[in-house]
Amino acid sequence: MVKSSRLAQEPDDFRFIVRQDFLSYENDLQTREELLLNSYFSLKNFAESDVEAYGLDASDTDVEKVPLVITPVSNLQLERF
């Protein structure tokens, strides 16, 4: 008789890792680019998540949030107190 790992409460063999990007505050974007990317990420919040779209079980899935840096800030002036 074969037992399911869920019935036997054994640890799972593998986990799914889903990468979720978000727009970092450390970008030096033009107004048009910033508006476009903010609109994209706002619409992405209304869409179905990747976990739901792929039909993954939430207990077998980890979501990693990764900051998206497109244009890093250059010539940052730091003052020492």
pLDDT digits (tens, 9 = 90+) for 19-41: 998 888 888 888 999 999 999 98
**Total-model pTM:** 0.63
Contact 56, 14 (CB under 8 A): no
Digit-coded pLDDT (tens) for 28-76 = 888 999 999 999 989 988 998 888 898 988 888 999 999 988 888 887 7
Please say whether the beta carbons of 71 and 28 come within 8 A: yes
Token digits of residue 52: 């739901």
Question: Any idea which residue has 């869409």 for tokens?
Answer: 47
